[in-house]
Amino acid sequence: MKSEPGDVSIDDLAAMPNQTVDWYGVRNYQARNFMRDQMNIGDGVLFYHSNCEVPGVAGIAEVASRAYPDRLQFIKGHKYYDEKSTQETPRWVNVDVKLIRKTRLLSLKEMRETPELASLRILQRGNRLSITPVDPRDWEIILDLLKK
């Protein structure tokens, strides 16, 4: 799950009540569907800093709730407001994400230089999704890299 550090960084998450944040503002249907249809409480999350000087995995977290309507879609004038979304038929969801631990930064460059991660979705050309599933094999490789 990608977050811009200027919005919510791994350090911000560590300082939040219960070290938990609602993963708000997702406005891509495919990313929304990953949250809504595939994420379960306790699933691991690679907390990834994006759109920054050195993008990469900054920590490990876990899904702490099932998907529920993103409250921001209903706030008129908010940048995440969606006039077509209603309380009865919300278009956008989020999940709560809880910090497990901050890690060393595993940079995008280092991941690209790891041949075993060649199939990792975030490394594929043209991938711009803020949320992508991670194959269990890739998860283990990343955890091993984080130990270095």
Domain definitions of the chain by residue range? 2-146
Tell me the residue type at 28.
N
- pLDDT at residue 56 tops 90: yes
Chain centroid, CA 55 distance in Å: 13
Q: How confident is the model at residue 11 (pLDDT cuts 50, 70, 90)?
A: very high
Q: By percentage, how much of the chain surpasses pLDDT 90?
A: 95
User: Distance from first CA to last CA of the chain, Å, rounded?
Assistant: 22
Digit-coded pLDDT (tens) for 57-107: 999 999 999 999 999 999 999 999 999 999 999 999 999 999 999 999 999
Structure tokens at 37: 């249809």
Question: Residue 90: its pLDDT value, please?
Answer: 97
Of the candidate CATH numbers 3.10.590.10, 3.30.450.20, 3.40.30.10, 3.40.50.720, the domain formed by 2-146 belongs to 3.10.590.10
Beta strand extents in the chain (DSSP E only): 2-3, 20-22, 44-49, 56-63, 68-69, 93-94, 96-107
Question: Is residue 148 predicted with pLDDT exceeding 90?
Answer: no
Query: Looking at the predicted structure, is the pLDDT value of residue 125 above 90?
Result: no
